A and B are shown apart, each in its own frame.
Chain A
Amino acid sequence: MTVELEAPAIDIRSLAKSYGDTLAVNNLSVEIPKGSIFGLLGTNGAGKTTTFKCALGLARATSGQVMFGGYPLAPPMFESISYMPERPALYEWMTGAQHIECARRTFANFDLPRALELANLFSLDLRKRVRTLSKGQQSAMALTLAFATHPNILVLDEPSSGLDPLHQRHVLDLMIDAAAGGATVLFSSHQIGQVERAADRVAILHRGELVLQGVVEDIKAQEKIVEATFDGDAPRFSELDANPNVRRVMRQGRLIRAYIRGAGDGVVAVIQAASPTSVRVLDQNLEDIFLVAVGGN
């Protein structure tokens, strides 16, 4: 019996990037398996775009390295890696059709019928110059170019930005289709609901630091909310502050909410001892998990 150790599609090892005194990304390590959809979450300035740029060689990492399929990035790899930047970096004086023709001449795998099909899906008028397109249409144009090469790896920075809900749905479907076909998708988004729907793995960055990563279902299974109500103002529980599995406690009038990792039996027992009127254990959605991880409300 032979065991095949398949290298991750993208392996980010101890990546750090600083701009002067500002540390944009600090010691980030993430493995993205082949065929997965990996969502990178974070507030503005968390380091998502910097991570993408360093991974793709568009910015020089201060330290660390990024491997693609076990190999460091080399220009020919862009035949099978597509990148859609946060701000579509298209040439504003060129038409959509000229961008497609340019990509057709550049990439060996470029699929012209597929590109036209995608342009149609996004309702793009390819005769128009990019400067006359809306932000959403420019994003759609960039997505058309990114998906038309049938890449093995897709790196999409805010792919739904500016798109209407219908086209946002198309983007999710395209990502899921690509992953079903064996491609690996790494994307960032501020729309956590979309990430929850499409991604099988996530990582949360906060101020350049990785604060959480893993399989979405596992994270959601681990993260719970214990919610209790009292007759009067909710009491303070010093035991909760000391519990390492309690990520955050919120008191609001008669209500107390403890965001916890794990089953939460111990937390429930502590709260029960104070005779609340009700106690329940809720599953957290990804948005709750994200907000707790970045210290928001």
Chain B
Amino acid sequence: MYYKEFLRVRGIALWFAIAVAAVALLVFVSSGHGHVHVDLVQPALAASDRVAPTTPGAPSGATNVSRPHAGVEINDTGRAPFSLLLALASFVAAIFGTMVGTFLAAENCGHLEVAWTRPVSRLSYAARLMLVDVAAILGVLAFTVLVGLALVYGRGWQSYMYMDPQFWPVAATEIAFPLAWFGLVAGLTASVRTKAGAIAGSAWVASMFLLILLSFDLPPIIHGLLAAINYVNPLFYGSYSSSGSEPARHLLNMTPAFAIGGLVGIATLGIAAALAQWRRLEA
């Protein structure tokens, strides 16, 4: 059981590792020629809030790397916190978590007769698969952070980085973020035989859409409804920033602890829903 799931996530993780390494290599090589300016942007921030770790003397505006849910403190001194690396890695791991979150749907797609004639209970079987998946998500997160650190130190950009005072709460949020996506997708797709991938992808689109809607000036009832729905939206918890301009944060007065609790709650509820469906399925 572990072995089969290990093989499944290994295949996906390998592609992620190649993609992350390729992007890092591209940035490393390009920045070495002094032609690329990496501009890390929070979409909701004002222009003055932008942070631009650049190679000294490099021209600006060549490349933008944006991440909508960057849960990090960004200041206007031209320096970036180390937790930004973790946030980027968390985003990568969340996409990975979305893909492996269809693990029960993958079993439901024609393999239940094999899965359920193992000498373990259905719950035990699902729990074992989940353990492998969660370990792989954390592995992808760690790998991406390490690649980022290698890039930072390899290029000598550490002088542009600083250890933010809220590093540990942010780190916990960034670890919980991909797990929330994993749980959410598992809960949405556990009874699906096909199109689990489409559902998982749609969950991201819907998640962004719900978050964008929340920023509009809507009637209080609709706004309240949207806010309630957004409680089960991982992007909602992952998208707060300390810039003070993010509407969700104002709405909930969200603290890091609240965000962590929200993300862990989504992961737990999603997995519980997935297991409940898994127990009820028929081959």
A residues neighboring B (CB under 8 Å): 53, 56-60, 75-79, 81-83, 85, 87, 89-91, 93-94, 98, 101-102, 105-107
Given contacts A59-B282, A101-B3, A106-B1, contact A93 B113 (CB under 8 A): no
Q: Which residues does chain B contribute within 8 Å of A89, judged by CB atoms?
A: 110-114
A75 CA to B124 CA in the complex, in Å?
Answer: 10
A123 CA to B4 CA in the complex, in Å?
Answer: 24
Can you add 10 more A-B contacts, CB < 8 Å, to A79-B119, A93-B8, A98-B4? A58-B113, A78-B117, A83-B113, A87-B110, A89-B111, A91-B4, A98-B7, A101-B3, A105-B2, A106-B118
**Residue B11 is within 8 A (CB to CB) of chain A in the complex:** yes
Q: Are B4 and A102 in contact (CB-based, < 8 A)?
A: yes
A75 CA to B117 CA in the complex, in Å?
Answer: 8
Shortest distance from the beta carbon of A162 to any chain B beta carbon, whole Å: 16
Q: Which residues does chain A contribute within 8 Å of B116, judged by CB atoms?
A: 56-58
Q: Which residues does chain B contribute within 8 Å of A105, judged by CB atoms?
A: 1-3
A90 CA to B117 CA in the complex, in Å?
Answer: 12
A56 CA to B115 CA in the complex, in Å?
Answer: 12
Q: Which residues does chain A contribute within 8 Å of B282, judged by CB atoms?
A: 53, 58-60
A56 CA to B283 CA in the complex, in Å?
Answer: 10
A203 CA to B206 CA in the complex, in Å?
Answer: 53
Q: Are A91 and B119 in contact (CB-based, < 8 A)?
A: no
Query: Number of contact residues on B: which range applies?
Result: 20 to 34
A98 CA to B4 CA in the complex, in Å?
Answer: 8
Shortest distance from the beta carbon of B105 to any chain A beta carbon, whole Å: 14
B residues neighboring A (CB under 8 Å): 1-4, 7-8, 11, 110-114, 116-122, 124, 282-283
Q: Are B4 and A94 in contact (CB-based, < 8 A)?
A: yes
A105 CA to B132 CA in the complex, in Å?
Answer: 15
> Closest chain A residue to B122 by CB distance?
A75
> Closest chain A residue to B106 by CB distance?
A91
Q: Are B114 and A56 in contact (CB-based, < 8 A)?
A: no
> Closest chain A residue to B280 by CB distance?
A60
| Contact among B111, B120, B121, B122 with A91 in the assembled complex (CB-CB below 8 Å) | B111
Q: Which interface residue of B2, B8, B124, B283 has the most chain A CB atoms within 10 A?
A: B283
Shortest distance from the beta carbon of B242 to any chain A beta carbon, whole Å: 44
Closest 7 CB pairs of A and B: A58-B283, A85-B113, A89-B113, A78-B119, A59-B282, A89-B114, A79-B119
A82 CA to B113 CA in the complex, in Å?
Answer: 11
Q: Which residues does chain A contribute within 8 Å of B122, judged by CB atoms?
A: 75
Q: Which residues does chain A contribute within 8 Å of B119, judged by CB atoms?
A: 75-79, 106-107
Q: Which interface residue of B2, B114, B282 has the most chain A CB atoms within 10 A?
A: B114
A73 CA to B26 CA in the complex, in Å?
Answer: 57
A83 CA to B124 CA in the complex, in Å?
Answer: 20
> Closest chain A residue to B115 by CB distance?
A89
> Closest chain B residue to A53 by CB distance?
B283
A194 CA to B71 CA in the complex, in Å?
Answer: 67
Q: Are B4 and A90 in contact (CB-based, < 8 A)?
A: no
Shortest distance from the beta carbon of B196 to any chain A beta carbon, whole Å: 15
Q: Which interface residue of B4, B112, B121 has the most chain A CB atoms within 10 A?
A: B4
Q: Are B110 and A78 in contact (CB-based, < 8 A)?
A: no
Q: List 25 A-B contacts (CB under 8 A).
A: A53-B113, A53-B282, A56-B116, A58-B112, A58-B113, A58-B116, A58-B117, A58-B283, A59-B282, A59-B283, A60-B282, A75-B121, A75-B122, A78-B119, A81-B117, A82-B117, A89-B110, A90-B114, A91-B114, A93-B11, A102-B3, A105-B1, A105-B2, A106-B119, A107-B119
